[in-house]
Amino acid sequence: MDNNFWIVFAITPFLIFFFYKRRSNNKKVKSKERDDDEVPLLGSLGWPLIGETIQFVSSAYSHHPETFVDKRRHLCRYGKVFKSHIFGSPTIISTDADVNKFILQSDAKLFVPSYPKSVTELMGKSSILLVNGSLQRRIHGLLGSFFKSHILKAQITTDMHNYVQESMANWTEESPIYIQDETKKIAFQLLVKALINLDPSEEMELIRKYFQEFISGIMSLPINLPGTQLHQSLQAKKKMVKLVLRIIQERRNGGITKVPKDVLDVLLNDSIEELTDDLIAHNIIDMMIPGEDSVPLLITLAIKYLSEYPAALQQLTEENMKLKKQKYHLGETLCWSDYLSLPFTQLVITETLRMGNIIIGAMRKATKDVKIKGYLIPKGWCVLANFRSVHLDEKNYDIPYQFNPWRWQDKELNNCNFTPFGGGQRLCPGLELARLEASIFLHHFVTQFRWYAEEDTIVNFPTVRMKRKMPIFVKRVES
């Protein structure tokens, strides 16, 4: 039998325990009488306690993660929106772009974020990833404005250039370069610099160590006892909070600058009473969760796809070499607007986001009975707005499993068929920075190296990653 079977078999006891605990805490959902204009939700709740989670997880581990959804949409004829029971809750799974848009753009009066218990335990009730209402809108607005500022983009460009050049200077032609590891290190350095203005140092390495211990508990059993993974992760977070609180106190003692140089300054400058030092420290750490993986995987997947599609690689290389020569002859260095103005590079990044689906979807829970396009989502049920299924639907994209950056020429990105960064009030505020970082790395990579990529496969659960960390052999090109 293949490895996927044994993985699912091994985790089944843990899943059963988790679902039993979660179900015991869930309120029973009462059945509702259907209105005449209401579309009946088809689907299956699967086995008692575990529902259809094993099928969902097994599919996610396979080479074709859409199997779970495709079987129910087409073979079982449930349609684009159907009911299931996964991860301990009765769940509506939506592969309908319009339904997903409604869910993402709804406020907390209709839907609130829904995460496994281990995640909520690690983040706490006041985390920006969980909090709702005015505080969430305030913090999200502050971050959005700062991340769009020219000052931060200029700083990110300078730092990214330095970190990339430092990393690539150590690459040799004799040994494989593991792109996923290299980009993770660079992105983490950049992330910590943007959050708390900390340069690479022993202190940053300590934060990296604590953070890896912290996120190891994201998908653990929700048992907080000494010796468990969740307990160890919570202890690691406490150490990180203590470190950030010390930095906060140093900032306050030295006087907080009115022109923010990092996210910490932005939050310390705000006068809202709910933003206590402890809440700020916890949220600084929680902000590392979505930022730590997304950019490295975006870059890694782009290199994988470019390795497999020579025509796209050739056009990307020509575009970046042309820009490099122009700037060299003018005696200028590249600024952030130069990178973001590379048209084909942006098409490659967009297509990578569509095919790679670094975020499979968004989980929400209905706070009341909600009707969408005639479907009734009962109060207390979870909803999975599935981005991946929309991005890979042949009705939305021609030959969806083919990497084709040219498909985005003269096409609007602001439509509900393309939501790699989510949407609504929780739209990722760092989406433009992610594009900038990926553009900078790809520019330096294709203008300095030619490479051969070894065979590797994408793993899609519990997070998207390369199975072998994307090993490549490089050869430097003459300047």
In the annotated binding site for heme, the residues are 428
Please, what is the Cα angle at 372 between 368 and 375, to 5 degrees?
Answer: 90
* Cα–Cα distance, 126 to 133 (Å, whole number): 11
Q: Which amino acid is at 228?
A: T
* Cα–Cα distance, 303 to 161 (Å, whole number): 18
382-386 vs 89-94, strand pairing mode: parallel
**Known binding residues:** 428
* Cα–Cα distance, 86 to 69 (Å, whole number): 13
* Cα–Cα distance, 131 to 112 (Å, whole number): 9
Q: What Å distances lie between residue 345 and 155, 278, 289, 407, CA to CA?
A: 21, 41, 26, 13
Q: What Å distances lie between residue 380 and 16, 345, 425, CA to CA?
A: 21, 43, 21
* Cα–Cα distance, 359 to 354 (Å, whole number): 10
Cis omega before residue 200 (within 30°)?
no
Long-range contacts of 172-175 (CB under 8 A, 24+ apart): 173/473, 173/474, 173/475, 173/476
The closest alpha carbon to 435, from 360, 362, 343, belongs to 343
